[in-house]
């Protein structure tokens, strides 16, 4: 798992190829990443990346939707597209013998999608329904409320699905224009891992993608969004069995490594696993919650640090107070060295456990490359975790755990009286 031999190269047309050989199973996984996704969307076209990713597998200038599904499924391969705020990705997993043919198909999808009008219409309807379906889950609603409050007007503020208004307005021509702008070889990273010799993998990518040339026009830069902090308390009254309580704080981008890494350690300390502080204090000792944790996503731009729990409605106020107290505590006290070491071990151990399968390895290195960290970040991150001090933790907690954004969902009688 550690120190897999990795080769990275840049083809003549600008494609970055990352290859890792892993002979453990007769499988090859690939991730084709492009610098496209939520960050590159204009406010009037929110959701275009997602719609494009949904329709991308449904027709090319050579193949129909049914042809594509048949080619993938008749070989038992997995192929899918996905999009996040920071990237677009096409994922592929096959048994080794099928890999060249499926990679050829993937190239056709990436290069020559036809966005058939009927398929755009179908996926648009499914997306609209998907947006409605997200309202069914209290956690999704509370998190959406938090994101909206923290990221007004920012691509991280909404779901990747877009809004009903923007989705209704998108046309196949919009998809073609978006595709033409961002889907080009000098904007592409192909990361592979599996039972394939690294040089053969690179030669295969070159043979399949090598004749794709980048347009002369410079790649447009994504807009750099600005944020005005407006911490506050936001409440959704809803007649649920549990209240959901979330505290959010603006948090550093992964590119601010000196702050990012200690905050990752804090996140581990507070929210990771059965021995985490929130789990022990609020679940084990007080029985307040089944689901209580924290998360801090790795983001290109400013991220968010969120601590949350689901609790009985009558405990809503207690939950707010307890979560807030735990975060303030980190600003006030210096942790024990033993806690710091355990959190580092936990973070690094879980990091290693997250790099076991071919797909996980291909994903991690390709992702580091596409968000401009580079594959060396794999080692840099681990070294930086080891170097974090107790003072770092307190400094970072004081810097970021200031006034929180609060998002609460639950029965009106219990949530409307919350004092903060």
φ, ψ for residue 60 (rounded to 5)? -130, 180
Tell me whether strands 6-10 and 78-83 are parallel, antiparallel or unpaired. unpaired
Shortest separation between residue 408's beta carbon and other proteins, angstroms: 14
Nearer to other proteins, 240 or 253 (CB): 240
Q: For residues 401 and 262, is the Cβ–Cβ distance under 8 A?
A: no
Helices (H) and strands (E) counted in the chain, each on its own, are 16, 11
Order across the sheet with 88-95: list the strands: 6-10, 16-21, 188-194, 27-34, 88-95, 78-83
CB of 187 to other proteins, least distance (A): 28
394 membership: H or E segment, kind and range: helix 390-400
CB of 405 to other proteins, least distance (A): 22
Q: Which is nearer to other proteins, 187 or 358 (CB)?
A: 358
Nearer to other proteins, 12 or 136 (CB): 136
Residue whose CB is less far from other proteins, 73 or 372:
73
Positions touching other proteins (CB under 8 A) are 1-2, 23-27, 65-66, 69-70, 72-78, 93-95, 122, 125-126, 129-130, 132-133, 135-138, 238-242, 272-275, 280, 283-291, 310-312, 341-342, 345-346, 348-350, 352-353, 356-358
What's the closest the beta carbon of residue 144 comes to other proteins, in angstroms? 14
Name the minimum Å distance from CB 90 to other proteins: 16
CB of 223 to other proteins, least distance (A): 32
> How many Cβ atoms sit within 10 Å of the Cβ of residue 100?
16
Q: In this complex, which beta carbon is closest to other proteins, that of residue 83 or of residue 141?
A: 141
Sign for the pseudo-dihedral over CA of 219, 47, 148, 303: negative
CB of 1 vs other proteins, minimal distance in Å: 6
Report, in Å, the least distance between residue 46 CB and other proteins: 20
Cβ atoms of 38 and 160 closer than 8 Å: yes
Token output for 56:
């991308």
Length of the chain in terms of residues written: 420
Identify which of residues 74 and 226 has a Cβ nearer to other proteins in the complex.
74
The residue (of 187 and 276) whose beta carbon lies closer to other proteins is: 276
Shorter beta-carbon distance to other proteins: residue 150 or 246:
246
CB of 223 or CB of 273, closer to other proteins: 273
**Closest distance of CB 142 from other proteins, Å:** 11
* Cβ-based nearer residue to other proteins, 114 or 187: 114
State the chain's maximal CA–CA distance in angstroms.
65
List, as one string, the DSSP characters of 96-163.
GGGHHHHHHHHHHHHH-B---HHHHHHHHHHHHHHHHHGGG-HHHHHHHHHHHHHSTTSGGGS-TT--
- Cβ proximity to other proteins, 11 vs 142, nearer residue: 142
In 10 A of CB 243, how many CB atoms?
26
As measured in angstroms, the least distance from the Cβ of 342 to other proteins is 4
Give dist(CA 58, CA 60) in Å, integer. Answer: 7
> Do 24 and 32 form a contact (C-beta atoms < 8 A)?
no
Q: Say whether 218 sits in a helix, a strand or coil.
A: coil
First to last CA, the chain: 47
Joined together, the tokens standing for residue 148 give: 């909206």
The span from the CA of 167 to the CA of 407, in Å, is: 27
Q: Are strands 405-410 and 233-237 parallel, antiparallel or unpaired?
A: parallel
Nearest approach, Cβ of 133 to other proteins (angstroms)? 5
Q: How far apart are CA 94 and CA 70, in angstroms?
A: 14
């Amino acid at each position: 798992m550690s120190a897999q031999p990795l080769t990275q190269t840049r083809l003549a047309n600008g494609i970055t190829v990352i290859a890792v050989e892993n002979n453990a199973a007769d499988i090859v996984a690939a991730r084709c990443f492009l610098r496209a996704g939520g960050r590159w969307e204009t406010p009037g076209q929110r959701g275009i990346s997602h719609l494009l990713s949904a329709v991308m597998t449904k027709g090319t200038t050579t193949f129909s939707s049914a042809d594509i599904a048949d080619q993938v499924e008749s070989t038992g391969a997995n192929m899918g597209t996905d999009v996040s705020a920071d990237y677009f990705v096409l994922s592929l997993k096959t048994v080794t013998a099928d890999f060249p043919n499926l990679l050829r198909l993937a190239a056709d999808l990436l290069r020559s999608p036809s966005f058939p009008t009927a398929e755009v219409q179908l996926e648009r309807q499914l997306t609209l329904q998907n947006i409605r379906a997200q309202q069914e889950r209290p956690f999704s609603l509370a998190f959406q409320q938090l994101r909206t409050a923290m990221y007004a007007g920012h691509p991280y503020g909404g779901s990747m699905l877009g809004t009903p208004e923007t989705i209704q307005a998108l046309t196949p021509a919009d998809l073609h224009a978006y595709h033409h702008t961002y889907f080009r070889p000098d904007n592409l990273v192909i990361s592979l891992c599996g039972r394939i010799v690294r040089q053969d993998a690179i030669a295969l990518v070159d043979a399949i993608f090598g004749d794709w040339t980048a347009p002369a026009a410079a790649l447009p830069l994504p807009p750099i969004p600005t944020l005005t902090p407006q911490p506050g308390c936001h409440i959704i009254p809803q007649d649920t069995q549990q209240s959901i309580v979330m505290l959010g704080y603006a948090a550093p981008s992964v590119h601010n490594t000196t702050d990012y890494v200690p905050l990752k350690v804090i996140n581990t300390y507070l929210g990771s696993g059965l021995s985490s502080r929130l789990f022990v204090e609020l679940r084990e000792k007080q029985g307040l919650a089944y689901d209580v944790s924290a998360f801090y996503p790795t983001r290109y731009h400013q991220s968010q640090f969120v601590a949350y729990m689901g609790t009985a409605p009558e405990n809503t106020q207690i939950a707010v107070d307890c979560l807030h107290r735990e975060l303030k505590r980190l600003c006030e006290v210096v942790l024990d060295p033993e806690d710091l070491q355990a959190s580092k071990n936990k973070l690094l151990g879980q990091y290693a456990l997250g790099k076991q399968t071919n797909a996980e390895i291909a994903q991690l290195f390709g992702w580091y490359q596409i968000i401009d960290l580079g594959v060396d970040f794999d080692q840099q991150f681990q070294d930086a975790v080891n170097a974090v001090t107790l003072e770092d933790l307190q400094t970072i907690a004081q810097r970021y755990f200031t006034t929180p954004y609060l998002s609460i969902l639950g029965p009106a009688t219990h949530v409307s009286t919350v004092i903060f």
